[in-house]
Structure 1
Amino acid sequence: MVSNVGYYVAGFDAAGKRVGSLIFEGKLSDNKDVAAAIEKGKAAFEGAAVVEVISADDYSLYLSGAYVRGENGKPVKYVAPEPTETEKKAVQQAELTADYKAQVAELTTALQVADLNGDADAKASIQSDFKDLQASYKEGMEALK
């Protein structure tokens, strides 16, 4: 990224994600300019755990979203955390529920057709399948608790 800006003041949350940035308008060699810019950043970036002056190159990396501030203060590739057991169970429950609803819809359609045809044997079979489906769904959800 080509820029006429050399440095930025950036705020980062505790996880190292950039929460905001401002153009650094002072001289990097002047400690007063740096301190004033950092104070301005602290006031501007709510939730920032760290506020510092960074290079335009580092700013470009953070802006991409593919990098976060590492413990050494330099950009590192962002690695998404592994899902928690609770999150994994929630996904499994959602999948089980979606599958259950799709099967209920199929059985409902089949039952309506059997009813319209006056086919008592087919209705009884579909109702039995529905009871089995309900029991299986309940068992699956209990297993995921």
Structure 2
Amino acid sequence: MNGTNVDYYVAGFDSTGKRVGSIICDFDPNKEKNADKLSALIDKAKGLFTDAEVVEVISATDYVMYLSGDYVRGVEGKPVAYVAPEPTAAEKKASVIATIKAKYQPTLDNLVEARVKAAMLGADTAKIDSQYKATLASMATEIKNA
């Protein structure tokens, strides 16, 4: 059982092998009498899947594998297990910065809330302002050193 009610699809794949789209092929693409229909269907798929670098006929079994997202088109044209690329240096740095900001954000939020309450009550906010600036400076230093 292939999980679908048809035997073939025409699918488009991007440069990384990820399926960008597919359409049903409701005839046997291997029969010579269907060559014109197959050519027309592939042309239609090329028009639909403009991001595709490869457009080809795939089996329903392969189609189901691609749907899971766990497989991409390999160099031989068959599904291979997807391996996520290593994050770039910029992506790693952005992740570290986001983690640092998330660590400081609750403190900053509490200080803002305390300052608003103090200001509403007419209290001196200088100590809170100083803590807020010191917290921002600590965060900025930690980000700079990341």
TM-score bracket for this pair, using the shorter chain length: 0.7 to 0.9
The unaligned stretches of length 5 or more in structure 1 are none
Q: Secondary structure at the match of 1:135?
A: helix
Indicate the residue corresponding to 1:98 in structure 2.
102
Cα deviation for residue 69 of structure 1 reads 0.6
Instruction: Determine the C-alpha separation between the residues in 1 that align with 2:135 and 2:8.
Output: 62
Cα deviation for residue 29 of structure 1 reads 2.6
Cα deviation for residue 142 of structure 1 reads 1.8
Asked whether the 8 Å contact 2:3–2:64 carries over to 1, the reply is no
Residues 52-131 of structure 1: pairs in structure 2 closer than 5 A: 52-108=56-112, 129-131=131-133
Indicate yes or no: 2:141 matched with 1:139. yes
Instruction: Determine the C-alpha separation between the residues in 2 that align with 1:50 and 1:104.
Output: 51
Worse-matched range after superposition: 128-137 or 59-68: 128-137
Q: Secondary structure at the match of 1:92?
A: helix
Asked whether the 8 Å contact 2:10–2:23 carries over to 1, the reply is yes
**Pair 25,134 (structure 1): closer, same or farther in 2 beyond 3 Å:** closer
Indicate yes or no: 2:14 matched with 1:13. yes
**Pair 126,61 (structure 1): closer, same or farther in 2 beyond 3 Å:** same
How many residues matched? 141
CA displacement, residues 56-98 of structure 1 (integer Å, 9 cap, x when unaligned): 1001111122111111100011111121111111122122222
**Identity within the alignment, %:** 49
Cα deviation for residue 21 of structure 1 reads 1.0
Instruction: Determine the C-alpha separation between the residues in 2 that align with 1:55 and 1:126.
Output: 66
Instruction: Determine the C-alpha separation between the residues in 2 that align with 1:112 and 1:86.
Output: 37
AA aligned opposite 1:21 = S
The unaligned stretches of length 5 or more in structure 2 are none
Give the aligned CA root-mean-square deviation in angstroms.
Answer: 2.7
**Pair 39,110 (structure 1): closer, same or farther in 2 beyond 3 Å:** closer
**Pair 132,55 (structure 1): closer, same or farther in 2 beyond 3 Å:** same
